[in-house]
Amino acid sequence: MIQMLAERVISNVEQVIVGKDDAVRLTLIAVLSRGHVLIEDVPGVGKTVLTKAIARSIGCSFKRIQFTPDLLPSDVTGVSIFSQKTGNFEYRPGPIFSQFVLADEINRATPKTQSALLEAMEESQITVDGITYRLPDPFLVMATQNPIEYEGTFPLPEAQLDRFLMNISLGYPQPKDEVSVLERQQFQHPLESVAQVISAGELQQMQQAIRDIVVKRELGQYIVDIVSATRIHPNVYLGASPRGSLALYRTAQALAAMRGRNYVRPDDIKALIRATLSHRIIISPAARVEGVTANAILDEIMGQIPAPDTPANVRR
């Protein structure tokens, strides 16, 4: 069931996002894993459209927050306003109260405003004036940032980065795909014709079913070995946290389900190492000067740690 419904969503989204099958699938894996996504890419490659298309395909509410230096935490979470009619303070919810939230150019806001998302991303709730409010279910934050233009930006703190399940990039389309984009938008934006193909209730059932995907103990150890290796690598100042291990574990379950299996294989884990761990690694200053990247370190670690041999017919 998960494979069928997932392919239905992917096909629907790809009416709008052309030639980016990997990015669409990774985003859907994050949705199924109840995780948040950081999209680090140049402007104009479809980051906003991707978020809107997935939200519409699932029939979920969508709100966009444009992060700027003058944005306040209350602009995100909402504020309590005194009502002269009732004589009490009334809470006015902010745009964070949506099932899909696009935090556009998140690194342009001050750290104080960025921190307004921490509780929401970790616990699906916010606290305003000492009162806690639950956020809608499902709840997903997709944040974007421009990796080229750093003037007037504030780097995301490690605690914030660690709360993103995945870090993905769309990249420029291939020439033939870009021609297809031009043709599809000749008369109207394809996003206008994107229809709902599954319900939020079906998504919640899929999210719950993901937890039943079998992960052999040897594969759990393989995940921990990879994450542990990032902490002792000579070119790494700060390695991935245990949250990174859990992210790799959960996304591997989702990918296995999307591939029509009820068990995880080593290839499922390998396919997700970069997306789940690269943004959790801080390169040492000396290695950064030499041009060492997080992905290069992860590739090196994958080559050094052998994947366990697991039977191809593993079943519960």
Q: Which residues pair with 40 in a beta bridge?
A: 145
- Residue range 194-219: average pLDDT? 92
| pLDDT on residue 315 | 46
Per-residue confidence band for 150, with pLDDT thresholds at 50, 70 and 90: low
| pLDDT on residue 188 | 75
| pLDDT on residue 87 | 80
Q: Which residues pair with 282 in a beta bridge?
A: 238
In this prediction the pTM is 0.88
- Give the span between the Cα atoms of 44 and 33, in whole angstroms: 27
Residue 146 has pLDDT above 80, yes or no: no
**Tens digits of residue pLDDT in 238-251:** 999 999 999 999 99
Is 211-304 in CATH node 3.30.365.10? no
Strand (E) positions, the chain?
37-40, 62-66, 78-83, 88-93, 100-104, 125-128, 131-134, 140-145, 166-168, 236-238, 282-283
Per-residue confidence band for 299, with pLDDT thresholds at 50, 70 and 90: very high
Residue 76 has pLDDT above 70, yes or no: yes
| pLDDT on residue 313 | 45
- Residue ranges of the domains in the chain? 2-186+195-206, 211-304
Q: CB neighbours of 15 closer than 8 A, spacing ≥ 6?
A: 53, 190, 193, 194
Its CATH class, for the domain covering 2-186+195-206, is: alpha beta
